[in-house]
Amino acid sequence: MLYTYVMLQITPSLHIDPDELAFEFIRASGPGGQNVNKVATAVQLRFDFAHSSSLPEELKARLLKAAARRISKEGILMIEAKRFRTQEQNRQDAIQRFLELLRKASEKPKTRKKTRPSKASKEKRLQSKRLRSKTKLERSKVSHEV
């Protein structure tokens, strides 16, 4: 099969060279009869993100946080795809999942703005606590002093 050389686009300004991706075809687990035992249809996509020149350092740090369990000690991101019955479909699925992961990691997280409760909200909370306390107090046993 002849593939055209196309850069994988993550964002409008960020592209990855397909040569940086390595594919290994393995036997899939699970149901499927003899076909599962004979044909290697599952795909392992490997991407050496630690040594990739395509990704900025900021994105690498966010990717490390987002996909920590999929990354080896050597800095290789591994995605396994075995949903479909053909190698090509599983290969495309692995690429799509890889791109989605990178797109998610490329989004900058919102910075948290410190907020304080308003005076009215504090008073409302304290009032509800007083009311609850009064309700519980009324439920307690009555002492009979003579």
pLDDT attached to residue 1: 47
CB atoms within 10 A of CB 91: 18
Among 82, 51, 63, which Cα is nearest to 10's?
63
The length of the chain in residues reads 146
pTM of this prediction? 0.62
What's the rounded Cα separation, in Å, for the pair 63 and 91? 21
Sign of CA dihedral 68, 49, 30, 37: negative
Token pair listed for 68:
């920590």
Domains of the chain: 8-106 (3.30.160.20)
pLDDT in tens, 45-65: 888 877 777 777 787 778 777
Sign of CA dihedral 15, 21, 25, 27: negative
Report H helices in the chain.
34-38, 57-66, 87-106, 119-139
Is the pLDDT at 26 greater than 90, yes or no? no
Helices and strands per DSSP (H, E), number in the chain:
4, 5
pLDDT in tens, 76-105: 788 888 788 777 888 888 888 888 888 888
How buried is residue 49: exposed, middle or buried, by Cβ count under 10 Å (0-12/13-18/19+)?
buried
